[in-house]
Chains A and B, each alone.
Chain A
């Protein structure tokens, strides 16, 4: 029993509270074991995971330094860099003026010379001010110079919708950056993802765009000793099967992984077994894992928060149609943000981003089950 619980808690994918509730339904006497259970696994918020990853990598390699608005004295706009200025000093944790084009260019230049900058964008919306340097100065450099100049830089920060921040502060840049050869694009979901992928990104010799999510920062996940070890690293370009299933494949990244898992729970009660793939890496995209899963389930629902046209789901759908066409038993379903600038009003905002219901409906359509009639608009 304890062994089972330890294994389940190590899966790291489902928030501990959900896990506890599920277990208590199966085993009403669990309350007695509860105290024992809670000491079995540790928990960590995504924020703590990112902070500890930055701390460890800065400790391991003196060439790693941080740069961005409010990362130092303010302790980070979202407190991701808390305590790092005190620990590493102002030469390695630099507060910049509000000048993305300038400081990003400076960061890329430092990377040319051999340092390992971690540049923070307060949100990725502001990265548009610096996008020339990300694409032209960083992504393409190793290729153009035939390997002479590599760019070991990480661009990180919150990406996608928050809550009520309106159109200029809510865009998801996954599709934009994943479009570009020369960049690596990662997007963590859990604390394990956050730690492993950020460490991998900082150690990687290529420019990495690291898309976090503001809403996930405060979310807690169970975390194993292996993940807590300072040498822990996740491979770039490999997706994770968060939940195994046999009827349908759901792909997602970042916050939408949590939504997909919730949808899978709902669907399991209706006899549909969904396999949830946490992409973790948008470029390189783990086409092998996605196709292997679809060949097993024969149905695909892609989920993303960003705009639909030319999005992540579009590329995944194309890949599956190209490589696994004969295996598909249903048209591919794409769930994405609405094709509109993000509205501010709470009800419109809810309609503009995927909800768990939307994912459930899409899976049912892919399974040719009847779906309740959608409400107007």
Chain B
């Protein structure tokens, strides 16, 4: 009872969050959620930061059910993602990661919220800002860092790099370098799901930069005609490389751009809003075909490691978002508000995560570069007796 009154007095200063604990068993279970298998801890309801805005649909409720376990999981998963991306930044500057590297820090709530609403049988496809989605679909840190560094233990054996992570068995279809291409591909995944009568859905993710691509509208038209279970997720971080959304789109209301296709505008920095929207979208897509979710989100880094990210936006803007809307901080406040664990324990979790990431990097560094013979593997699924030539074709030819 004493706990309830403490919670009640805190709620006013956080404004929006409602507390309706359904169970009071948290006093003993309150400190070990991550490890208690099957023990979800107390269930409660949180309110999303802002209401959803619907286009041609009734938006879902702002009240989102969650459990202590889920909330702690959000904190842990997002912190892991954040730490991984920051570590990747350092590895890139140390020249251990080469080429392109597009970081997701700031956008973590979209990845974790979506995952919380779906199963591994549902499919996700995204573009090149894919490290965290890969993690949420079951990828592990070692194969992530090893791939980034082009090593044998990488999820693509070192042959893909940052933009080309895949995990078909986890429902993750990549990992694509060409802006917009992943959207028709995602509609194709949805086509297959419907064809096979699987009652699963596909989330095809793209950014505000890709939102104007013609191929998106072509695929959306077909998906609507054929009632495909395709959910288009526009991660609107407001900048397509260096171009602000208002300079690229006549209508930056991306959730409405589907025209005849319903849409929902979601606070992408609020993992619970994302979860609720994705749950809503999955139900919708299975019954009524495609829907667009616009996630209002933000990337702290520039477009890629070659872009400082400060020539087209102010440092004030970036630090304001960090202060007001950071997805991890939001969840931290909720955890403390509900008194699930102490602030010190959250810091311990972060320290553990930091160590986990450091260990994974050390292990990934041990992995060697791919064997030279890998140059010629996986061109085709099966060999067909044809020659493949190396640079010096008279010296270097193999049969595959």
Please determine whether B375 and A377 come into contact, CB atoms closer than 8 angstroms. Answer: yes
Residues in B whose Cβ lies below 8 Å from that of A340:
375-376, 379, 388
**Hey, what's the 0/1 contact readout for B17-38 against A, CB within 8 Å counting as 1?**
0000000000000000000000
Are the CB atoms of B374 and A343 closer together than 8 Å?
yes
Among listed B48-56, B158-166, B270-278, interface-contacting one: B158-166
Residue of B nearest to A70 (CB): B242
Taking a contact as CB atoms under 8 Å apart, the answer to whether A98 and B389 are in contact is no
- Shortest CB distance B146–A (Å): 10
Assess the A338–B391 pair: CB atoms within 8 A: yes
Does any Cβ of A come within 8 Å of B5's Cβ? no
A355–B388 CA distance with the chains assembled, in angstroms: 18
Chain B nearest CB from A123 CB (Å) reads 10
Instruction: Tell me whether A358 is interfacial, beta carbon within 8 Å.
Output: yes
Contact call B375/A351, Cβ cutoff below 8 A = yes
A169 CB contacts on chain B under 8 angstroms: 99-100, 177
B391 & A337 in contact (Cβ 8 Å cutoff): yes
CB pair B396–A73 under 8 Å, yes or no, is no
Cα distance A305–B98 in the bound complex, in angstroms:
20
Most buried by B among A333, A343, A345: A345
Q: Is A97's CB within 8 Å of the partner chain B?
A: yes
Binds B, one of A3-11, A52-60, A159-167: A159-167
State the CA gap A97–B176 with chains docked (Å).
19
Determine how close the nearest CB of chain A comes to the CB of B125; give it in whole angstroms: 15
Q: Give A70 to B373 CA distance when docked, in angstroms.
A: 39
Q: Are A164 and B214 in contact (CB under 8 A)?
A: no
Q: For the complex, what is the distance from the CA of A361 to the CA of B395, rounded to whole Å?
A: 10
Contact check, A335 vs B391: say whether CB atoms are below 8 A apart: yes
A166 adjacent to B392 (CB under 8 Å): no
**Chain B CB within 8 A of A308 CB:** yes
Within 8 A of B (CB), among A271-305: none
Whether a CB of chain A sits under 8 angstroms from the CB of B61 is no
Nearest CB of B to A103, in Å: 10
Question: Which of B179, B311, B375, B394 is close to A343, meaning CB atoms less than 8 Å apart?
Answer: B375
Q: Does B241 contact A (CB under 8 A)?
A: yes
Contact B372 A348 (CB under 8 A): yes
- The CA of A69 and the CA of B156, in the complex, are separated in Å by 30
B370 within 8 A of A: yes
- Give the shortest distance, in Å, between B151 (CB) and chain A (any CB): 7
Q: A231 an interface residue at 8 Å Cβ cutoff? A: no
**Cβ contact within 8 Å between B214 and A102:** yes
Q: How distant is B110 from chain A, measured CB to nearest CB, in Å?
A: 20
CA A74 – CA B239 in complex, angstroms? 12
**Residues in chain A near residue B213, CB distance under 8 A:** 98-99
Q: What residues of B have a CB within 8 angstroms of the CB of A365 in the complex?
A: 394
Q: In the bound complex, how far is the Cα of B389 from the Cα of A354, in angstroms?
A: 12
Given A165-B99, A165-B100, A347-B370, are A98 and B179 neighbors across the interface (CB < 8 Å)? yes
Q: Are the CB atoms of A362 and B212 closer together than 8 Å?
A: no
Digitize B230-270: 1 where CB-to-A-CB distance is under 8 Å, 0 elsewhere.
00000000001111000111000000000000000000000
Asked if A201 is at the interface of the complex by the 8 Å CB criterion, the answer is no
Known interface pairs A70-B243, A343-B159; A99-B394 also in contact (CB < 8 Å): no
**Which residues in window 291-348 of A have CB below 8 A to B?**
308, 333-341, 343-348
Q: Is the Cβ of A308 less than 8 Å from the Cβ of B161?
A: no
Say if the beta carbon of B226 comes within 8 Å of chain A: no
Q: How far is the CB of B399 from chain A (nearest CB, A)?
A: 12
**Inter-subunit contact A129/B242 (CB<8 Å):** no
Contact of B212 among A98, A334, A343, A348 (CB under 8 A): A98
The answer to whether B178 and A345 touch across the interface, beta carbons within 8 angstroms, is no
Interface magnitude class on chain B: 35 or more
Q: Is A101 part of the binding interface, using a Cβ–Cβ cutoff of 8 Å? A: yes
The answer to whether B212 and A99 have CB atoms under 8 Å apart is: yes
Q: Which residues from chain A contact B164 at a C-beta distance below 8 Å?
A: 166-168, 344
> How near does chain B come to A106, taking the closest CB pair, in angstroms?
12
Q: Is the CB of B392 within 8 A of A344?
A: no
- Contact of A166 with B163 in the complex, beta carbons under 8 Å: yes
Is residue A212 contacting chain B, with contact meaning CB distance below 8 A?
no
- Whether A377 contacts B392 by the Cβ 8 Å rule is no
- Chain B residues near A125 (CB-CB < 8 A): 177-178
Quick check: B391 and A355 within 8 Å, CB to CB? yes
Nearest residue (CB) in B for A346 is: B150
A137 to chain B, nearest CB (A): 15
CA distance A306 to B178 in the complex (A): 19
B391 and A344 contacting across the interface, CB-CB below 8 Å: no
Q: For A95, A341, A346, which residue has the most chain B Cβ atoms within 10 angstroms?
A: A346
Find B214's partner among A101, A166, A334, A348 (CB 8 Å cutoff): A101
Compute how far the CA of A374 lies from the CA of B374 in the bound complex, rounded to whole angstroms: 17
Query: How far is A347 from B150 in the complex, measured between Cα atoms in Å?
Result: 9
Q: Is B382 an interface residue (CB 8 A)?
A: no
CA distance A362 to B389 in the complex (A): 14
The one of B156, B214, B391, B395 that contacts A352, using a Cβ cutoff of 8 Å = B391
* B159 close to A308 (CB less than 8 A): no
Min distance, Cβ B398 to any Cβ of chain A, angstroms: 7
Q: Distance (Å) between the CB of B396 and the closest chain A CB? A: 6
> For residue A343, which residues in chain B have a CB less than 8 angstroms away from its CB?
158-159, 370, 374-375
A2 contacts partner chain B, Cβ-Cβ < 8 Å? no
Q: A residues near B, CB below 8 A?
A: 69-70, 73-74, 77, 95, 97-99, 101-102, 125-126, 128-129, 162-169, 308, 333-341, 343-348, 351-355, 358, 361-362, 365, 371, 374-377
Show 29 A/B contacts (Cβ-Cβ < 8 Å), sorted by A: A70-B243, A73-B242, A74-B242, A74-B312, A97-B243, A98-B212, A98-B213, A98-B241, A126-B178, A126-B179, A129-B180, A164-B161, A166-B100, A168-B176, A338-B396, A343-B375, A344-B99, A344-B156, A346-B150, A348-B150, A348-B159, A351-B391, A354-B391, A361-B392, A362-B392, A374-B395, A375-B372, A377-B373, A377-B376
Having A99-B213, A169-B99, A374-B395, one finds 4 other A-B pairs with CB under 8 Å, namely A70-B241, A97-B249, A167-B160, A308-B393
